[in-house]
Amino acid sequence: MKRAGLIELNAVTIVAETRNFRAAARELGMSASAVSHAISALENRLGVRLFNRTTRSVSLTEAGERFLEKVSPALKDIAGAMEGATAAGGSPRGRLRINTSPGGMQGLLMPILVEFQRRYPEVHVDVASEGRLVDIVEEGFDIGVRLRESVPQDMIAIPLTEQERFHVLGAPRYFERYGKPSVPTDLSRYPCLRLRLPSGAIYRWEFERHGQEIRVEVDGPMTLQDMDLMLEAAVAGVGLAYMTERQAAGPLSAGLLTAVLEDWTPPFPGLCLYFSGRRHLPPPVRAFIDVAREMTRKA
């Protein structure tokens, strides 16, 4: 029997993990049809079906599970040897794909990216900044950056910020005109800047004190989806804004914005860098994780 090639074995492993031929193809840098053909050729040589395929799902057969259990340790050893050889041959190179929320970029991720690019100029960094939460493995990303509460449980997470905290923020001129709210329910009488979520829904502001949780549906002159625009509008005195202390750090420190209702906005777990721990990490991913850890420790 002809020996199975490394491409075929990797295809089996990644299709088993992603349960999706297209996602596996993106990760392997192949077409979906090429991945399907590689696995079919391996199945024909083995004389067993490794996957159950339907129009909606892909899953390992019992024979496929036994086969993968046998070959996975060897593939990890090979990947480790190749990674070691690459490291010995010089600096990491290739492509690094990162998915982050727009909030993850503000004042946090870009300094890390700049330092990483300075150290590893042969790595091309591809960053997708979007509000929707994606499956980074299925969509072909190496790393994700999100709030800790949004990180899937099967991912390895590394904290980038110790804690985050939302604030209700207004400009001095705004408070001179309208005064300051005392409790969250007062906000119904104050012009506020509404945030549209990626789903199209309007975000309700969240508050908590002494175990009491309140969500307030605010109203006002503007509905925005971009946090930079919201920050500009708040500084201009258009309305109250609801955003994290990190996002508004500049105007807060300059006295252009003031926080209110602070006893109703406790801190919560902050942003994390996360990645799949199911396979060996490519050198660019390991290098980026090291840079992120180093820079967040300094911060």
Model pLDDT for residues 4-37, shown as the tens digit of each residue: 567 788 788 888 877 888 777 766 767 788 888 8
In a domain, 1, yes or no: no
Question: Are the C-beta atoms of residues 145 and 109 closer than 8 Å to each other?
Answer: yes
**25: in domain:** yes
Mean residue pLDDT of the chain comes to 85
- 169 CB-contact burial (10 Å; exposed 0-12 / middle 13-18 / buried 19+): buried
Whether 200 maps to a domain, the answer reads yes
Percentage of residues of the chain with pLDDT beyond 90: 36
Task: Give residue 68's domain range.
Answer: 6-88
Q: Which pLDDT score is estimated for 199?
A: 79
Can you list the residues of the chain whose pLDDT is less than 70?
1-5, 26-27, 29, 77-90, 103-107, 278-280, 297-299
Check whether residue 27 and residue 174 sit in a common domain: no
Asked if 68 and 113 sit in the same domain, the reply is no
- Residue 226: predicted pLDDT: 86
Q: Do 15 and 77 sit in the same domain of this protein?
A: yes
Is residue 145 domain-shared with residue 224, that is, in the same domain?
no
Looking at residue 106, its pLDDT comes to 66
B/e letters for 274-285, b = 16+ CB within 10 Å, e = fewer, are bbbeebbbbbbb
Give residue 84's pLDDT: 59
The confidence score (pLDDT) of residue 7 equals 77
Domain harbouring 140, CATH code: 3.40.190.10
